[in-house]
Amino acid sequence: MKRTITHLADGRELIYFDRRDDADRSAIDRRALDPRPVASELRYDPLTEEWIAVAGHRQTRTFQPTGSASECPLCPSSDTWSSEIPAYDYDVVVFENRFPSFSGNFGTYEDVGGLSEVRPGVGRCEVVCFTSEHSSSFSKLTDEQVGLVMEAWADRTAELSQIEGVEQVFCFENRGEEIGITLAHPHGQIYAYPYVTPRTRLQLGAAGRYREAHPGSNLFADVLAAERAEGTRVVAANELWTAFVPAAARWPYEVHVYPHRQVPDLAALTEEERAAFAPLYTSVLRAFDGLFGVVMPYVSAWHQAPVRDGRDLAYLHLELFSIRRAPGKLKYLAGSESAMGAFVNDVLPEQAARMLRSQVDLY
């Protein structure tokens, strides 16, 4: 793999990840860009003990009609079009988001009074372009291309974890107009948060209490072992990874993908583990699309250990879920879910596992 660092016209960093060592990455950004926005402000909610990022500049972020490739900012540049990627072709590219939720470009932040504390939204937000092909998708990537994406994820996890003030690194993909994507090009994002996210705090708290009750055990490892032993909800598996529908799935179609070895983050995976992930994961993605014969909207989220806290308790795993519950029907987060955080699932997890398993083309 060749890794090349360059910069865009407004100073943002861009990194090429190439399979070939002779890839030419000398192209420069020809655009005249506005100055970079200042970082968001964080406001503390004392009732939930959570930090909320307020990033007004994101109201003006780029919006492209789904399927339009003529002026896609994530496609390679050409003689007549300058995108976010100066090169005329690429394998995998990572660059700083032009409209970030978190960054190191600080402004001024005033006290808002009350019981809420305000502080700068330190951190970083990056875009990961999985392929230069606008009409492709992650499920269509070759195993080699998925491996290169994983190299990029691992590289960025390690690098972003070194930024002062960053507490957690989150790699994810939003796919589908129903999810709310603004760009159709196959891509994901990476958030380097200045705090440990609420979901992670909950999981690590549960894992800590479980270890106290079961000395020497790990909650995540035991969940994986139990699902593998029971087998009903397993969707796909190989020697190093298992994909299963959790027994208490929140979403109509939800799959968790675990490596068989406990590691804290993507950077800790071996070359063999990264290679084994690719065919299993893309097979599960194709199974999602095969359920109803339509492109399924989904969120794909890597759960990684925080930078400092709870690394011995954490267990790297991927959470993949769709909001589609049936042909022509979506799962909306209405009163119970949105107001109370109390999920009601419309699909029996065992039924979802059977349906997904019937579509898996791994073997």
143 pLDDT higher than 80: yes
- Residue 107 confidence class, pLDDT cut points 50, 70, 90: confident
112 or 308, higher pLDDT:
308
pLDDT at 147 over 60: yes
Q: Encoding tokens for residue 70? A: 């003529």
Fold type of domain 199-359? HIT family, subunit A (3.30.428)
Q: What is the pLDDT of residue 62?
A: 63
User: Binding-site residues, please?
Assistant: 72, 75, 134, 185
> 311-338: per-residue pLDDT in tens?
999 999 999 999 999 999 999 999 999 9
DSSP E strand boundaries for the chain = 2-7, 13-18, 41-45, 50-54, 92-96, 118-120, 124-129, 168-175, 187-193, 234-237, 241-244, 253-259, 298-303, 317-322, 324-326, 329-330
Is 2-195's fold the same as 199-359's?
Answer: yes
pLDDT at 68 over 70: no
Question: For residue 181, which of 297, 95, 18 has the smallest C-alpha distance?
Answer: 297
How many Å apart are CA 76 and CA 70, to the nearest integer? 11
pLDDT score, position 241: 98
pLDDT digits (tens, 9 = 90+) for 153-175: 999 999 999 999 999 999 999 99
d(CA 313, CA 196): 14
In terms of phi and psi (left: phi > 0; alpha: psi -120 to 50; beta: otherwise), the region of 270 is: beta
Classify the phi-psi angles of 143: left when phi > 0, otherwise alpha if psi is within -120 to 50, otherwise beta.
Answer: alpha
Question: Mean pLDDT over all residues of the chain?
Answer: 94
Confidence grade of residue 71 (pLDDT, cut at 50, 70, 90): confident
**Could you count the other beta carbons within 10 Å of the beta carbon of residue 20?**
9
What does the alpha-carbon distance between residue 327 and residue 332 come to, in Å, rounded to a whole number?
Answer: 14
- Enumerate the domain spans of the chain: 2-195, 199-359
Q: Rounded to whole angstroms, what are the CA distances from 351 to 25, 162, 182, 232?
A: 49, 43, 32, 9
Look at residue 64 in the predicted model and tell me its pLDDT. 57
- The arrangement of secondary structure in 2-195, i.e. its CATH architecture, is 2-Layer Sandwich (3.30)
What's the one-letter identity of residue 168?
Q
Binding-site residues for Zn(2+) sit at: 72, 75, 134, 185
207-253: pLDDT as tens digits: 999 999 999 999 999 999 999 999 999 999 999 999 999 999 999 99
Q: Which residues are catalytic?
A: 187
Distance CA 263, CA 269 (A): 7
Q: How far apart, in whole angstroms, are the C-alpha atoms of residue 176 and residue 156?
A: 24
pLDDT tier, 363 (very low <50, low <70, confident <90, very high otherwise):
low
Tell me the pLDDT tens digit for each residue of 30-55: 999 999 988 889 999 999 999 999 98
